[in-house]
Amino acid sequence: MVKYILKRLLFIFVTLWIIVTCTFFMMKQLPGTPFDAERFSIMTPAQQESMLEMYGLNDPVPVQYVKYIGNILHGDLGTSFSYVNQDVGSVIAGRLKPSALIGLQAVLIGLAIGLVLGILAAWKHNSGIDYLTMILAVLGVSVPNFVAAALLQYYIGLKWGILPIGFWTSWNCSVLPSIALSFSATAMVARFMRTEMLDVLDQDYIVTARAKGISQMQVLMRHAVKNSILPVVTILGPIVVNLMTGSLAVENIYSIPGIGSLFVDCIKANDYPVIMGITIFYAAFYMLVVLLVDLVYSMIDPRIRLTKGKED
Amino acid sequence: MGKILEVNHLTIHIKTHKGTVQAVRDVSFCLNEQETLAVVGESGSGKSITMKGIMGILPKNGKVTEGSVLYDGKELTKLTERQMQNVRGSEIAMVFQDPMTSLNPTMRVGKQIEEMLRAHKKDMTSEQRKKRGLELLELVGISNPEERYRQYPHQLSGGMRQRVVIAIALACEPKVLIADEPTTALDVTIQAQILDLMRSLQTKIKTSIIIITHNLGVVANIADRVAVMYGGKLVETGAVSDIFHNPLHEYTKGLLKSVPKAQEKGGRLQAIPGTPPDLMDPPKGCPFAARCMETMLVCQKFMPEDTDCSENHRSACWLLDERAGGVS
Amino acid sequence: MRNEAIEDSLFVKVKVKAEEKEHIAAPASGMIADAWLRLRKNKAAVVALFILIAIILLAVFAPVFSKYSFSDTDYGSVFAQPNADHIFGADQFGRDMWVRIWMGTRISLMIAAVAAVLDLVVGVLYGAVSALLGGRVDAVMQRIIEVLVGIPHLIIVILFLMAFPAGVGTIIAALSITGWVNMARLVRAEILKLKSQEFVMASQVLGSSKFYIIMKDLIPNTVGVIVINVMFTIPNAIFTEAFLSFIGIGLAEPQASLGVLINGGYQVLQNYPHVLIFPAVVIVLIMVCFSVLGDGLRDAMDPQMRK
């Protein structure tokens, strides 16, 4: 088990290194500097030199690369171009909380509604609630999150004035973005749970359970739901990716000071150190989530054994 | 010996998206105390559905439309789901075909046994339940039960799992045990062990057994009486010796002929040509008429009635009518 | 026992030939024909198919037959509400939304279609080579895929878009750079599954050549997986393009893709919601139809999976 985790962690590091290397050299090929071209050109050569020095841009590219990797290993992601004198790590850290809150709330909403819908739909297969769930599941993945976010903002925030249309002043501000983000998560969970549980309900051990003379509720909860809810853990990885990318648009729409909006701002401002920092952060976070999901799943589901070949 | 279970004119329909399947049609039979009845017939003949109908565990789209199931004087088809739950498991228990899939994969073996006790022996304490569970594992011949008790089904072999399934079924000492092809999914050597186990437990617990099988070897090994089903109908019932030595229905005869015999080396296996009737639109007459070598016009038009031939030996075949040109 | 209602004359033996008992109920039909028959029974999928065909026809012909072009400005009808002249109204430059939306649909669909074809070619080749060669080659190819899977796709797409000048070609390239991975994994898994199945072994035992097995046993049986996956990559590509244009790093004005239009609509949502609503409805409709049709195809091609 420990060996397995170490192997996975090593693989994550290798992957991160490849990502860092690729993005680093790609960034170096990009046109434009963080400096305003006009102002930069009227500086004296000495001033220009010190500016480049400050951002570590006057070394040859390979040297910059080695320095950059060295710094990363020390936890230093460099200095932001657009946030003057701030290092990338603290810029990102400062934006973490809103994104984490919205993302977490979206996951919770998605799980709560998705699981209930999925269970009901499978239990009452081919009933009204089943069709409703399927329609919601299709809509949930078909309505782009930025469209949903824009419409929620317009109707609930602007026209009816129930909730704030954006910004980050109180918890209320997090409600609409969380809901907007949660749609696709809800759809994914509902659909997965429904399919999984329909499959379980067809299994022989459900008939065995019924033949025992225990109540229908017990058959449902103890046998059907328990066996179908465990695999839902495995779609947390895709859900996290979905939320990460969704937050790029949603945070912008609601003017949330989170990582998603930071990323988009920095892309527009050519703030390469922050872009790289966020890329590394996203990739590392995602891979850790996937690793965690695998570990948790293997622990809660006796059917799964992590290391291959031990299955009988 | 009294009758413990009496099934009269049981009819079960299953609704599918293509139409209604008349899976069980007017089936009547009885089970005596401490007797073993074997139900034989090919796949789709309605054996399993009949048993599920008796237990009240038909799939959602299935329904008993007619007939009665009398258990110990109680009419089971009239019971509410709740009342039926008290019968299931404690009075009538069931063992299923495939031990690989009939145990809950995420529940420890011990807990699956205890669940049965928890449902029907409400006054048991948890220690008593555990003690009884271990006893049961020992009873069905599982070594180091303490260890097995904590394991999950996938850690057990197929034969062991079937023993666990039997232990669960016998947990409340039911009066009737229905075993739906309990040995089909197992290795031949394990099959004999499981049959031996069932026989010895029957005398210990004094239960009656209905065993579904299409293996006539199993029938000869364990059964007292045999019921033969075809196309959702019961075509012949009788003592094992009657069925084996003096089969009356043409389907039973075909079935017996199709068993390969060791002494007839090199001969072709005798199959019954044709396929079973479509139960979505079953024939008006005898279900076997289309495949029978002795078919008469009457067979295609009218359903043969159950005819007593000797004590406890009945068959539904027009050839038994005196007007038929001599029974072959 | 004697049932007098039945005539004695009926007790006559019927002669039946043994071979007549063995008849086959329905003629065998091919996989594609079979799938089509099943798909036709799925009403939702058929409706989705017709809506998609209608949308594609509109995207191709609506701009051609309109008196406006997608970039014609008319300051007399700035933000016009939907009316007889402008069916979907007009935007802040008085450009006709009807034409712009179908123009945008055309570009979005084209991007998605080309990206899907590239995914298909690269993914199928990669997956097939990986599965068929096996061994070292397979191991290396799988490691490469694992690295790519480790990064959220949209991040790669965004980084790629930063490095190259924005445009339809760049977006297609960006979408394809990550899109094929899924296809490759599916095709590889399917081929490995097929390879271990009895009918392929039977073919080997009967002496079929490797090439014959690939052409006759493996490829036809992976078609289902491939087609279904394409049905899901197209809406994905449409979504991604729209997403990128919406956050401002995809296509830009005056070009019209659905994402550009939604972005434009969002800017004026407060006062002129119709500029957002119409393109939003079209994109949702496209996504829903592909999704429903994809589900329908999956059910039709794999009846055992049906739920």
CB A15 within 8 A of CB A7: no
Looking at the complex, report in whole angstroms how far the Cα of residue A195 sits from the nearest Cα belonging to chain B. Answer: 18
Residue A305: predicted pLDDT: 64
Task: List CB contacts (< 8 A) between A290 and chain C.
Answer: 150
Question: Mapping DSSP to helix (H, G, I), strand (E, B) and coil, where does residue B107 land?
Answer: coil
Q: What is the ipTM of this complex?
A: 0.83
Whether residue A164 is preceded by a cis peptide bond, meaning omega within 30 degrees of 0, is no
Looking at the complex, report in whole angstroms how far the Cα of residue B93 sits from the nearest Cα belonging to chain A. Answer: 7
Of C276, C283, C284, the CB nearest to A150: C276
Query: How far apart are alpha carbons B247 and C282 in whole angstroms?
Result: 71
Subunits with 3+ C-beta pairs closer than 8 A to B? A, C
What does the pLDDT look like over B195-222, one tens digit per residue?
888 888 888 888 999 999 888 888 888 8
Q: Categorize the per-residue pLDDT at C28 as very low, low, confident or very high, splitting at 50, 70 and 90.
A: low
Query: How far apart are alpha carbons B60 and B71 in whole angstroms?
Result: 23
Nearest-5° Cα angle at B64, B60 to B70: 125
The pLDDT > 90 percentage for chain A reads: 34
What does the pLDDT look like over B42-90, one tens digit per residue?
887 888 899 999 998 888 888 899 899 999 888 998 889 889 999 998 8
Residue B269: predicted pLDDT: 67
Reply yes or no on whether the pLDDT at A137 is more than 70. Answer: yes
Q: What is the mean pLDDT of residues B244-253?
A: 86
Residue A100 vs residue A59, higher pLDDT: A100
Query: How far apart are alpha carbons B17 and C257 in whole angstroms?
Result: 44
How many C-beta atoms surround the C-beta of residue A150 within 10 A?
26
In CATH terms, the superfamily for domain A100-257 is MetI-like (1.10.3720.10)
Q: Categorize the per-residue pLDDT at B192 as very low, low, confident or very high, splitting at 50, 70 and 90.
A: confident
Q: What is the mean pLDDT of residues A201-209?
A: 90
Q: Touching check for C246 and chain A: CB below 8 Å?
A: yes
Question: Mapping DSSP to helix (H, G, I), strand (E, B) and coil, where does residue A268 land?
Answer: helix
Reply yes or no on whether the pLDDT at B183 is more than 70. Answer: yes
Q: Which fold has domain C35-64+92-305?
A: MetI-like fold (1.10.3720)
Range from A192-201, A236-245, C73-82, C252-261 carrying the lowest mean pLDDT: C73-82
Q: Categorize the per-residue pLDDT at B10 as very low, low, confident or very high, splitting at 50, 70 and 90.
A: very high
Nearest-5° Cα angle at A95, A93 to A99: 115
CB B270 within 8 A of CB B258: yes
The DSSP 8-state label assigned to residue A219 in this structure reads I
Residue C303: predicted pLDDT: 52
Those residues of chain B whose CB sits closer than 8 Å to some CB in chain A are 52, 55, 57, 60, 81-82, 84-90, 93-94, 96-98, 101-107, 115-116, 118-120, 152, 154-155, 165, 168
For A56-109, give the DSSP string. Answer: T-SS-HHHHHHHHHHHHHTT---B-SSSTT-BHHHHHHHHHHHHHHHHHHHHHH
CB A154 within 8 A of CB C270: yes
Looking at the complex, report in whole angstroms how far the Cα of residue C155 sits from the nearest Cα belonging to chain A. Answer: 7
Q: What is the mean pLDDT of residues C249-277?
A: 84
With CB atoms and an 8 Å threshold, state whether B305 touches C1: yes
Looking at the complex, report in whole angstroms how far the Cα of residue A294 sits from the nearest Cα belonging to chain B. Answer: 17
Residue A310: predicted pLDDT: 35
Token pair in block for residue C221: 């049986």
In the numeric block, the tokens 């080997």 are attached to C204
Of the ranges A294-303, B162-171, C30-39, C295-304, the best mean pLDDT one: B162-171
User: Which of the residues B281, B291, B297 would you substitute to probe the C interface, choosing the one with the greatest number of C C-beta atoms within 10 Å?
Assistant: B297
Reply yes or no on whether the pLDDT at B31 is more than 80. Answer: yes
What does the pLDDT look like over B108-151, one tens digit per residue?
999 999 999 999 988 889 999 999 999 999 888 888 899 999 99
